[in-house]
A and B are shown apart, each in its own frame.
Chain A
Amino acid sequence: MEEISIEEVENNDRELLEVAPALISVHPFEKSVVVAIGPELRVFDLEETDPMNIVEAYSNVLTVLCLFLCFCLDRGSRQISIVDDSGDPLHSHSIRAICFGANGSLFASAGDDKLVKIWSADSWKCIRTVLSEKRVSAVAISHDGLFVSFADKFGVVWVVGFGGDNEKNKAAPIFAHYCSIITSLLFSPDGRFIVSADRDFKIRATVFPRKPLNGAHEIQSFCLGHTEYISCLVFICTLEYPKGFLLSGSGDSTVRLWDFTSGSLLSTCEVGVQAGLVESNGKDEVLCPAVTDICASPDGSVVAVAIQRQIVTMGDIFSPTSLDMGSFGMHIWLVTGASNLPSFDSASLACVKVVSGFQKDSPHFTEHGPVMLENNDIPGGDKLLETMQGSISIENERKALGTAIEAVKKAMHNLLIKRQYSDEKREFRKRGRNDRKLKQ
């Protein structure tokens, strides 16, 4: 009896592992937004047909305000058809990681099909496709745009040189977390370090050398303190501390603040408790909802955290699978959804929301703090929603979406939570393993 149920659980696990959360990434200057769902990239251009100089706007609050108004009035926004005439393969399985480069000219996507694709974030042409040996779980672009780094399911971090002489080079392994799944990869604000986080509660800051293809051997620090897998990382920078601080979210329901140069834990925020989401089931067990994603305005004045179950704002129950924020720190872009539900044949479902009103000069600023924008007020409006979600309104799909999100939750749990088997089960698993069977 017992034995059968273990087998069943394992088979189910395998199916669930394939379900991937929908991801969202916003251009650093909010020129465009990308949603990745399954193998699909949905890109939406937020700029006017006559693009203004965003970089200038960045340094000038007044212009930023104008830009924001433009977003609202703008009817020139459009869906971008991404072009891949490189002849390289397209994504065929779930995308697991996406990111923009710091200056917004490059975009990278990677995932279960072992492809790392690098795109021009202007023309949305695929400039380069790199074949990984294993499934890819995280990706990052160096600030100078010269290197793309990615991590595979076996904990190996690779780098590909980009531009110049590096054009033809293959990906080279630069360091590894020993046989752990790397969940997040990020360059420090000054570009000197690459930070990686894994399923074994570890965050590692490694010096990113000038010639990274020879390997990144010098570990600056380990940031240790989480008691479950790390799901997400983000940097914040203040004028007084331009090196930046690191924030990490975890399956342990906390967000922690680190001085990553020394590895010291500076502060722990029990997000799950604060959101009133930590429940006790009457016995000794406490159910702690996992932190799944985090984003921050560059100066750290706004930090948003996604927790499994529901987002801690607005009373509206919306459980994002991914969130992001441009460097203006004006909007938090949220998406919820899943790919590849084994039992569904309908298109992959996603729901996009935008939260605004953190800044006093924002038209959405209210005394009550940030608000979740009505569909009409979302930059790009209906057109954006149509592109990103597949349809303007997903009201009718609520139930399906709920199922999808539950499936993602399970899948992430199975992928990342360390299983605790009883001794009997462990013995049984050992006996059931094929390699052992052969020997006996």
Chain B
Amino acid sequence: MALLEVEDLRVSFATPDGQLDAVRGLSFTVESGKTLGIVGESGSGKSVSTQAIMGLVRGARISGSALFDGNDLLTMDSEALRKIRGAEIGMIFQDPLSSLHPYYRVGWQIIEMIRAHDSSIAKDTARTRAVELLRLVGIPQAENRVDDFPHQFSGGMRQRAMIAMAMALNPKLLIADEPTTALDVTVQAQVLEVMKRLQEEFGTAIIMITHDLGVIAEVADDVVVMYAGAVMEEGARDTIFYDAHHPYAEGLLLSLPGYGTRERLVPIAGQPPSLISLPEGCPFRPRCPYAFDRCTETPPLLDVGDKDDHGSACWLPADRKARAGMRHQPATKRPVAKRAAKK
């Protein structure tokens, strides 16, 4: 049994302009001790879906199921869910400065986490553990810095502290929502390193949410590519990187610096669709360089390629050559040199 099985998750908000469907039938599974990467442009529903599972989204209509260790997180009572939050599923977020309470010391916040789930733990035991955790995530002089306020930490240290807090109770699953997006490139690598080390040490499963395929390449075992609140493609990491089927996944790969040759650095043209009254058909159609008549019909997640865990919500043929011939323009339409000359 997988650690987390999300099935047909739907989340919608009532907005003044009408119902906004942020997540539209999302399914994925996370295996114990493994890392699932969820990748997609901003607004594709990555945060809303994971926070909905954790009961952190307010004022939304939520349906589907999310079985964690066999129990449905979406239907259990709020007290049971509260006990799982933090203790069995830890979370870290994009902006570590705003995610830590500005008025409380870093150590206090970690101690609070520890004692929230077991008030029998003495304060100084919890404090010793907090220092230990800070040392574990690589905070220098942890025994002094434990009494600092978040604003006295650097960006990378804050995210390390968030990780220390999320890992304090040795959860089975860590949900990391764009944990490196707000950080400098060098710091990003260090934070990912810390997460990988802790995962090996404690056997934690991780959901790594990002819009950056570079991060996915670093840490993910399996990948879900999300667009407009639904899965476009899923598969093992190498399958997605070397044998992507869906034009959206291909677009993301082409916009990745250092992927393929230099000339191929092309952002996906156009904007994500509005999630209010999305029309029938493939949601990527308006931006898709392959779109053809069948695409007005919504494609389900179809088996593609020779790997049986490889699925793609696209009508294109599985055969790479046949697919290439259906592209309206070549992928290298705008080489870097030409773009630079225009500026």
Q: Do A and B bind each other?
A: no
Q: List chain A positions with a Cβ less than 8 A from chain B.
A: none
Q: List chain B positions with a Cβ less than 8 A from chain A.
A: none
